[in-house]
Amino acid sequence: AQMQELADHFGHIVLTGEGLSQPFWRHDRVVLDQLDSLGANHHCEVAYYMSPQHRALEAAWRQWGFRSGHRPAEYLRRRTRHLHYQDMLSVVNEVPRLHVKFRCFARNMLPAGDVVRDFVSVFLGIHSDDVHGPVAANVGLSLVTANLLSTVPGAMLWSSPHDNQRFSRIRNVLQGAGATDVRAEAGRRILERWTVDQFGEENAVLLEATGWSLQGWPRDDGG
């Protein structure tokens, strides 16, 4: 109702929010129907970015997972259920009055490798060359450092996986430590092969439907 009122008054609104992805991948009919009704009187575009699964899983582990108290394999399995992007293709049919645009959250598929420039150019019509600012505003800890901290009892360092106030202070001290490591690179290769097993067939359908390049998505190197 608030969006309808704002759109009627201003004619053009931009609504962003991390949590707004959840009604789509959960197929929440109540919320989706309300969003779709907004499209009856206004042109409504939905920007939905999809990150290649092996990169999304590593990023989640480095930001929250290592603080969860779960072992890496257990945490990755829990996160996996949110990354079946092929399911999102059917959502388009459930909201026919919304214009859903899927974008690939991979550097090789984004102008200048920057999601901010991609968003403003594709959805706001602002030339990406006119956008300036920090490219890496939320740099996480290295995989090596995150794995090391995962062995420390959580209560010693933070109250919950989302206690970012204390975590930010730790990150400021350890930023850049252990940036490269042989074991980390080996782990990444194992993770990529595992995500091929989990998502390979449905990713093939997704990439064919979107026309995206396979480059940057999980691939089996035969190792």
Q: What are the tokens at 70?
A: 């779960």
Name the residue with higher pLDDT: 94 or 134.
Answer: 94
CA–CA gap between residue 21 and residue 39 (Å, rounded): 17
Give pLDDT tens digits for 15-29.
Answer: 888 788 889 988 899
> Which one, of 91, 90, 92, 68, lies nearest residue 79 by Cα?
68
The fraction of the chain above a pLDDT of 90, given in percent, is 37
Mean pLDDT value across the chain: 87
137 falls in which pLDDT band (50, 70, 90)?
low
For the segment 2-6, the average pLDDT, to the nearest whole number, is 90
Task: Give per-residue pLDDT as tens, 43-52.
Answer: 999 999 999 9
Does 186 have pLDDT greater than 90? no
Backbone angles phi, psi at 35, to 5 degrees: -65, -40
Strand partners, 49: 103
SS3 85: coil
Residue 33 pLDDT grade (very low, low, confident, very high; cuts 50, 70, 90): very high
Mean pLDDT value of segment 129-136? 68
Name the pLDDT band for 135 (thresholds 50, 70, 90): low
Across 204-222, average pLDDT = 87
Which segments within 28-173 are labelled E, that is strand?
44-50, 98-104
Give the dihedral of Cα atoms 125, 128, 132, 134; nearest 10 deg.
Answer: 100
Cα separation, 187 vs 182, in Å, equals 9
What's the pTM value of the predicted model, to 2 decimals?
Answer: 0.85
Give the model's confidence band at 8: pLDDT under 50 very low, under 70 low, under 90 confident, else very high: very high
Q: Is the pLDDT of residue 222 over 70?
A: no
The pLDDT of 29-43, averaged and rounded, is 92
**pLDDT by residue (tens digit) across 43-96?**
999 999 999 999 999 999 998 899 988 888 999 999 998 899 988 888 889 999
